[in-house]
Structure 1
Amino acid sequence: MINRAILVGRLTRDPELRYTTSGAAVATFSLAVNRQFTNQAGEREADFINCVIWRKSAENFSNFTHKGSLVGIDGRIQTRNYENQQGNRVYVTEVVVENFSLLEPRSHNQNSGFQQNNAAPSFDNNQAAPQSSMANPFGSPASSSNNGGNNSANSAANSAASSANDPFASNGESIDISDDDLPF
């Protein structure tokens, strides 16, 4: 069975951090996720998805995000129900967040001074702090600096470095593969 939800969107309000009676941190928030298509008026609609995150990740999420923050989350969909004060059965569907990533540089966040660089940290339920790796897995630099005209030199050096590390970069030579090289 597979139950996996991966979403990218903006927070509709600040995360609401609370603590259970046993002391476990829990934060709830709503994520606005744009739809891939526009309606008849040409406007892009959004889905507002309720999410919950637990323990140290909830504290980190609450400290590093605010209304309007662009985040990526990874988790599972959970449905639960309870009986309200009027005796009606209420069903709740939400995403239980297991991992999250902040997708904007720290300079876009107005109310925090924790991090001095522009890298966006990633978190999961097994981590208490931001990942220290500044490398961007997609081959571009993690942050760009404005050195008054040295950006072209920096980008040339970065592209040369990424080409040297790329095992699939074409250097003009053909690849010779025989049937004995194939694993199947």
Structure 2
Amino acid sequence: MAGSMNKVILIGRLGRDPEMSYTPNGQARCKFSIATDEGYRDRQTGQKVEKTEWHNIVAWRQTAEFCGNYLAKGRLVMVEGKLQTRKWQDQSTGQDRYMTEIVADNVQGLDRSPDGPQAGQQQGGYQQQGGGYQQNNAPQQGRPQGGYQQPQGQPQPPQQEDEDLGPAFPSEASGMDDVPF
């Protein structure tokens, strides 16, 4: 169908550590879930209500390796990918089962890990682009953050100090701590 698009962009926190595995032919696969939340006011009571959604993510090849090595429960990440629904038959009941997940093309760490990079260090990450991946090959110490690498030959923007933009989610600002991490 012309004019259709299957694109997902999410920012959320990992609900558990990533699970790495390999296919029989050695292809890396990493599964994890992230939580996103949003708030709204209940019209009848006037109270603020928080709603959390959980999203299943699967990454392949070098993106999977990056996720397995550098992500952990509680990390804030941006995931870019597409929705995919799998169907299988439950072996014990014979019923059809379905799973909708996001197949990640790009994953970026958005916060500093506990032993994050020191000032002046580069950040690394993976992005699928035209069937391949790009890696920031600058020397790194500690655990790098996820991120893009711009294509070679284009000018790099000057690095700036991190700017505190406030909490990533409304629940962080309100002091609510109902997400289990």
Report TM bin, short chain: 0.5 to 0.7
Contact 1:38–1:45 (8 Å) recurs in 2: no
Q: Kindly report which structure 2 residues correspond to 1:78-157, keeping only aligned pairs within 5 A, or say none.
A: 78-86=84-92, 87-105=94-112, 109-110=113-114, 115-117=117-119, 120-125=123-128, 126-127=132-133, 129-130=135-136, 141-143=160-162
Task: Give the superposed CA RMSD.
Answer: 2.9
Distance 2:99 2:39 in 1: 25
Match for residue 24 of structure 1? Answer: 27
Distance 2:65 2:26 in 1: 12
Contact 1:101–1:120 (8 Å) recurs in 2: no
Distance 1:57 1:122 in 2: 8
Q: Summarize the Cα distance change of 1:88–1:136 in structure 2 as closer, same or farther, 3 Å threshold.
A: farther
Q: Which has the higher contact order (CA 8 A, sep 6+)?
A: 2
Structure 1: gaps spanning 5 or more residues: 145-184
Q: Summarize the Cα distance change of 1:72–1:97 in structure 2 as closer, same or farther, 3 Å threshold.
A: same
TM-score, normalization by structure 1: 0.64
Structure 1 residue 80: deviation in Å? 1.1
- Which of the pair is proportionally richer in helix? 1
Q: Summarize the Cα distance change of 1:74–1:131 in structure 2 as closer, same or farther, 3 Å threshold.
A: farther
TM-score, normalization by structure 2: 0.65
Q: Summarize the Cα distance change of 1:34–1:5 in structure 2 as closer, same or farther, 3 Å threshold.
A: same
Question: What letter is aligned with 2:37?
Answer: N
Q: Summarize the Cα distance change of 1:58–1:91 in structure 2 as closer, same or farther, 3 Å threshold.
A: same
Distance 2:65 2:161 in 1: 25
Match for residue 5 of structure 2? Answer: 2
The percentage of aligned residue pairs carrying the same residue is: 31
Larger CA Rg, structure 1 vs 2: 1
> What SS class does the counterpart of residue 127 from structure 1 fall into?
strand
Structure 1 residue 35: deviation in Å? 2.0
Pairs aligned (count):
138
Contact 2:39–2:49 (8 Å) recurs in 1: no
Contact 1:76–1:95 (8 Å) recurs in 2: yes
